[in-house]
A = this chain, B = another copy of it.
Amino acid sequence: MIYSFMLAILVGLLKWFQWKFLIVDNAIDIYIGLIAVFFTLLGIWIATQLTRPRVEKVIVEKEIFVPITDEFTINKTELDKLNLTKREYEILQLITKGHSNADIASLLFLSLSTVKTHTSNLFVKMNVKRRTQAIEKAKRLQIVE
């Protein structure tokens, strides 16, 4: 639309210049020059309108120091050394969470006797005498969270 409008102006200008050079024949160079300048500017204007601004992206890396997420990973080596059974390890985990033997019996649907048997065997394997020592050792060896 803008361009067609420009063409309209162009036509008008042509008529005007045509009339002009009939009057002043020698001034034709000047008019042509003016046309040249005008259309050059028009071209520049069109170009700036049509061409999207060329954007050159320069990627700048900004270093951000992030503390390693304190993901707990069990020390499998140490855990294997202890040679605990599934049940024993399960019970150890509950012990470290502060559960009593009675609690554990309820949680695992076992009798108190069974839990006591497991804990006793567990302590022998861990080479500790009390559950509090088991907790301390388990946390130190990183075999529980």
Contact = CB atoms under 8 A, between A and B. Distances in A.
B59 A60 contact: yes
B135 A98 contact: yes
A132 interface: yes
Contacts of A36: 10, 35, 39
Contacts of A131: 132
Tell me what chain A mostly uses at the interface: helix, strand, loop, or mixed: helix
A97 interface: yes
Nearest to A38: B39
Interface string A33-59: 101111111111111101101111111
- Chain A interface size, under 10 / 10 to 19 / 20 to 34 / 35 or more: 35 or more
A117 B29 CA distance: 112
Interface of A: 10, 14, 17-18, 21, 28-29, 32-33, 35-48, 50-51, 53-68, 70, 95-100, 128, 130-137, 139
